[in-house]
Structure 1
């Protein structure tokens, strides 16, 4: 088979594929257009993090979840926020979830870690700093020995 025939065969295969994709898109389109697209934004918004001399804090939008659908865990210095939601009825099932993790700084007071969930669904997790982080110093970069 010549290169020209092979090229035409590949073109035909791609055209068939694209035609089938367009056909499937047209079949799904009426349902997609009417769907609740907010489920695609599950905790997908940018979170806000503060890490200054006084505290480490993170705020995340969890407004699509009820408090009982959320978990905040601390494993060592690893802070994890999880949300899991399931909705069932006679004809459908919908599930959404998210997991976000942060490593807390060495000088964060883990014993004083607290959470707050606002009426608008903003979850804030905050740990004050102990102020006893290691001494800061500049470390010179030395050339390698040959």
Structure 2
């Protein structure tokens, strides 16, 4: 005799706290499951193994990882790039990266006592004002400040 166990499945889902799709009934013990009417009965059937809970299935990331890897590989050579340099990396990001690197170098120079505090702030303002082109340029400016101090 086929027994409709839909209501029992709903009860199990409320007791265990999982979705209906994860609940599996053992076909041999369908009579016992049909007789179970309390939450306690359901719990005892779960411990007995008549009712099993399937493990939670996740969304597979395999295809998306593969697509991401392909995208990363594609279009990196000079002939494949479209748009100007600023289209790939914005002006602001370039500026921020440069300024942070220069300010770090300035801090190192001050910690090593290569430059004094007023000299540091003078160069710091130049860095912020985009007067300093790169680290090599900063190095020459520090050397000039040192030379000026000695004379």
TM-score, with normalisation over the residues of structure 2?
Answer: 0.28
Which one has the bigger helix percentage?
2
Structure ID, larger Rg: 2
* Higher RCO (CA-CA < 8 Å; seq separation 6+): 1
